[in-house]
Amino acid sequence: MRFKQDFFEQLDGFYTQVYPQGISNPHWLGWSDDAAQLIGLEKPNDALLMQLSANAAAPGASYYAQVYSGHQFGGYTPRLGDGRSIILGEAIGPNGAWDVALKGGGPTPYSRHGDGRAVMRSAVREFLVSEALAALSVPTSRALAVIGSDLPVWRESQETAAITVRLAKSHIRFGHFEYFCYSEKGAPDKLTQLLNFTLAQHFPHLSADSASYKQWFVEVVQSTAKMIAHWQAVGFAHGVMNTDNMSIVGDTFDFGPFALLDTFKEGFICNHSDHDGRYAFGQQPGIGLWNLKRLAQALTPIIPSDDLIAALNRYQPSLVSHYVSLMRAKLGLSIDSDLGRAAQAEREKQDLALISQFTVMLENNQLDYSNSLRKMGKIDISSQYSSLRDDMLNVSEFDSWYQAYQARVGDVADVAAWQQQRNQHNPKYILRNYLAQEAIIDIEEKADNSKLIQLQQLLTRPYDEQPEMDHFAKRPPDWGQGLVMSCSS
């Protein structure tokens, strides 16, 4: 790996240098060839294993943990920071630089009395979901590898430690700006320094002036809206949407108790600590805006309030527009680009209503989200019969919706091509929690990572028919339906 150290060299006082602690008996559990290409790596080797397990120094790495704060479940925590993640620096790849972090590399000054370790099950889950979301075109951080060990760690019981090697375009979070607004003296100077660095590194088309600050926040609002629109379209529940888990570049990261929906349920809660359902699946769009408002409050020393409010007002239209666009592709709802602005807006409103009726039907009939959408690739849209009808308890409700849906789709000259297009937008295989759990159990009980490797390879081609893997596309068994997880999972 070739590193540059812009954050480390230019933002003194925004981090603490800390060296990771190695794990015993390190071994590769999983490796992503796709992620490796991002930073110019080829195949894993023994030297790289020792470096990424923190048993040997990586040439050019600086090793540091960032400081930030954040709103956690609605309450402000003034000092958080990287409690179990240590950044090596920015690895230079063919198309840009990616932060490389060892998640589970040992304690830092921000560990809050924790051991700074990641347990194997959480490391495996982050590795799988990072690469699975990337294959679904969801904006996300990536996972280069997951490294196992025999180092014991204690949670509810004794487990073994592991390290996820995370790649991120940036580790700057909403919480960075909150910290340097509320917790540091001379906040405007620190905020301006952080913002100018963010612009130079991640928004190079913008200059460091008041007009660019305004435009930057507009882009942050829109990229956040786009990310959450993707979550809602693929059925992804993050589980812990604290402001310290919100990326300033609009990528999904800091995975804990996440889930991809099995049975569609707006109120699905994947985090067993979320007793009030603050971060339920259907609440995510609203929480995205709430978090952006907290970021806006932290920016008031350097950006006029009127500009911040104007940008925030773009959030809902942007999210709805991205969501409708994604769902149109899934359902085969074409759009005439020649329509005027008013007609486009009215059509978007009508399509959103049609999409909402569809998801309500799925929930009322307790149907699997991904499998139901995948069936679009088998529908003869010109026929009055749809195989989806056989899944419905309320047939008359479906018939009414399907009639309106057919009218909206219109005439389809080539049904086979239309079906193929649906299969390019509706995955057959998703990372269901029970599948991840089965892979984890095999590692824990048999020291066998073959299911993990098989699952990761499957999820890099989620849209392709892979008949030998069809069992992975089935609805979960009873024990695996709607699994909820803890923050350490």
Beta-carbon contacts of 278 under 8 Å, excluding residues fewer than 6 positions away, are 73, 74, 287
Selection from 163, 18, 173, 170 nearest residue 80 by Cα: 173
What gap in Å lies between CA 321 and CA 324, rounded to an integer?
5
Q: Which amino acid is at 222?
A: Q
Question: 97 is written with which tokens?
Answer: 């630089």
pLDDT at position 489: 42
Beta-carbon contacts of 266 under 8 Å, excluding residues fewer than 6 positions away, are 280, 281, 282, 359, 363
Q: What is the DSSP string of 43-77?
A: S--HHHHHHHTTSSPPTT---EEE---EEETTEEE
For the annotated binding site for ATP, the residues are 81, 83-84, 103, 115-116, 166, 173, 254
For the annotated binding site for Mg(2+), the residues are 245, 254
pLDDT at position 121: 95
Question: 132 is written with which tokens?
Answer: 């699975």
What gap in Å lies between CA 437 and CA 425, rounded to an integer?
26
Q: Which residues sit opposite 154 in a β-bridge? A: 158
What gap in Å lies between CA 202 and CA 212, rounded to an integer?
13
CA distances from 284 to 6, 180, 231, 267, 351 (A): 33, 26, 9, 10, 21
Q: pTM of the full predicted structure?
A: 0.96
Evaluate whether 66 touches 82 at the Cβ level (below 8 Å): yes
pLDDT at position 479: 79
Count of Cβ atoms closer than 10 Å to residue 63 Cβ? 19
Selection from 19, 1, 194 nearest residue 90 by Cα: 1
Does residue 82 have an active-site annotation?
no
Beta-carbon contacts of 238 under 8 Å, excluding residues fewer than 6 positions away, are 231, 245, 252, 255, 258, 279, 284
Catalytic residue among 99, 244, 274, 307: 244
Q: Which residues sit opposite 146 in a β-bridge? A: 30, 164
151-180 burial by CB neighbour count: b if 16+ within 10 A, else e?
Answer: bebeeeeebbbbbbbbbbbbbbbbbbbbbb
For the annotated binding site, the residues are 81, 83-84, 103, 115-116, 166, 173, 245, 254
Low-confidence stretches of the chain (pLDDT < 70) are: 184-187, 482-489
